[in-house]
Every structure is written in structure tokens, then in C-alpha cells.
């Protein structure tokens, strides 16, 4: 551990060190050298980058023009660059629509949810599916399921839930969960 800390504090640690420091300022749990979940760290980076972009856009649009350095022409050019597109939203954000259908009266309740990454269970291998592929993991995630759900329209407590993409990302981050916890 000591050796790892020493090598991390060496010259090769420059850029990564700045990133780690920036993340630790907001999420103190990443400030030391304890081992952490890589996916949790990635989510923190993405959230922070999104917040920083929003803050920078707000600051630039709200600052009075006469406080911006440069000539009037420079100021207008600078201002026209805002708002910046958020790289996280532009590249990674996607939307999944969850639909819950009552088994008795067929009443449908929908809920849209935005994500930057998709957590999937590691695909299960079987005789019919010897190679556990990402496709299988996606099919497992999107398959319909029976759930317990109190319908608002009738007294039924059983429903079917389905999920579908309603907005696709340019690049999808897939997180494969190796472990499954029994409830």
C-alpha cells in the first residue's frame, strides 16, 4: 500500500491527481487511497462534469458584459459560445420508459427515467446460450416481469412491467454486475 501511494504521488500521477483532487472536493470519500467501486467513481465524475457545465453556462450568461475582459467584439464572440452543450448529456444520456400494466383492468402507468450508464446483470450461460453476450444481458434487462403493484383503478395487486429505450445515447456505458444479491 505504501509503495502504491508513493508511486501514485510520483510524476506520472500529475493529470490523474488533478482529476482525483477535483472529485474529492465534492465527494470526500474519494480523497484517500482506499479502494473504491470504479462505477461509483465514474458516476461521480459524470455528475460533477454535468454540474460544472451547467454552472459555467449560468455564470457566463449572467455576468454583465462590461465585466467581461476584451473588446466589445471579443465579448460578443465569447458570449455566443454559450451555452455549451453538456458533453455528458450529449454523449451518454439516455431515457428508459417503464410501463406498468395492471393484469386485471389493463390500466397503464408509465414513468420515464434518465441514465448515463446502464447496470446489467452478467449474462447467464445455459445450454441454449453457451456464450453469455451483452445482447443476452440486454434482453434479460428488457424482458417483461410480473410484479406486485396496487392498481389505482381496480383492486388488483398484480401487474406486468416492461422497459424500453425512448431516447438513445451516442455512446452507451454498460456496467456489468458480477454479483447478484438474494433479497
CB nearer Zn ion, residue 108 or residue 134:
108
| 107 sits near Zn ion (criterion: CB under 5 A) | yes
Task: At 33, list the grid cell.
Answer: 487511497
User: What 3-state DSSP class applies to 81?
Assistant: coil
CB nearer Zn ion, residue 130 or residue 152:
152
CB nearer Zn ion, residue 78 or residue 109:
109
User: Per DSSP, which regions of the chain are E strands?
Assistant: 94-102, 108-115, 117-121, 145-148, 158-167, 173-177
| 52 sits near Zn ion (criterion: CB under 5 A) | no
- The DSSP secondary-structure symbol of 42 reads H
Query: Shortest Cβ distance from residue 154 to Zn ion (Å)?
Result: 3
User: What 3-state DSSP class applies to 141?
Assistant: helix
Nearest to 46 by CA among 120, 94, 119, 116: 116
| 102 sits near Zn ion (criterion: CB under 5 A) | yes
Query: Shortest Cβ distance from residue 103 to Zn ion (Å)?
Result: 8
CB 167 within 8 A of CB 91: no
CB nearer Zn ion, residue 19 or residue 105:
105
Query: Shortest Cβ distance from residue 110 to Zn ion (Å)?
Result: 15
Query: Shortest Cβ distance from residue 161 to Zn ion (Å)?
Result: 14
Q: Which residues pair with 102 in a beta bridge?
A: 159
Subset of 108-167 contacting Zn ion (CB under 5 A) = 151, 153-154, 156
The residues that touch Zn ion, with contacts defined as CB under 5 A, are 102, 104-105, 107, 151, 153-154, 156
Amino acid at each position: 500500500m505504501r509503495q502504491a501511494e508513493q508511486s501514485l504521488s510520483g510524476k506520472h500521477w500529475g493529470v490523474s491527481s488533478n482529476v482525483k483532487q477535483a472529485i474529492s472536493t465534492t465527494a470526500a470519500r474519494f480523497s484517500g487511497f482506499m479502494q473504491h467501486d470504479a462505477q461509483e467513481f465514474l458516476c461521480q465524475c459524470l455528475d460533477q462534469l454535468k454540474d460544472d457545465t451547467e454552472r459555467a453556462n449560468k455564470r457566463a450568461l449572467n455576468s454583465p458584459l462590461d465585466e467581461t475582459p476584451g473588446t466589445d467584439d471579443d465579448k460578443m464572440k465569447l458570449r455566443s459560445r454559450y451555452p455549451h452543450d453538456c458533453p455528458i448529456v450529449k454523449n451518454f444520456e439516455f431515457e428508459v420508459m417503464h410501463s406498468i400494466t395492471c393484469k386485471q383492468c389493463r390500466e397503464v402507468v408509465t414513468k420515464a427515467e434518465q441514465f448515463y450508464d446502464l447496470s446489467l446483470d452478467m449474462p447467464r450461460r445455459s445450454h441454449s446460450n453457451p456464450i453469455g453476450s451483452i445482447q443476452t444481458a440486454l434482453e434479460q434487462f428488457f424482458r417483461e416481469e410480473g410484479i406486485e403493484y396496487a392498481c389505482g383503478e381496480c383492486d388488483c395487486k398484480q401487474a406486468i412491467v416492461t422497459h424500453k429505450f425512448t431516447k438513445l445515447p451516442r455512446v452507451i456505458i454498460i456496467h456489468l454486475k458480477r454479483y447478484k444479491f438474494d433479497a
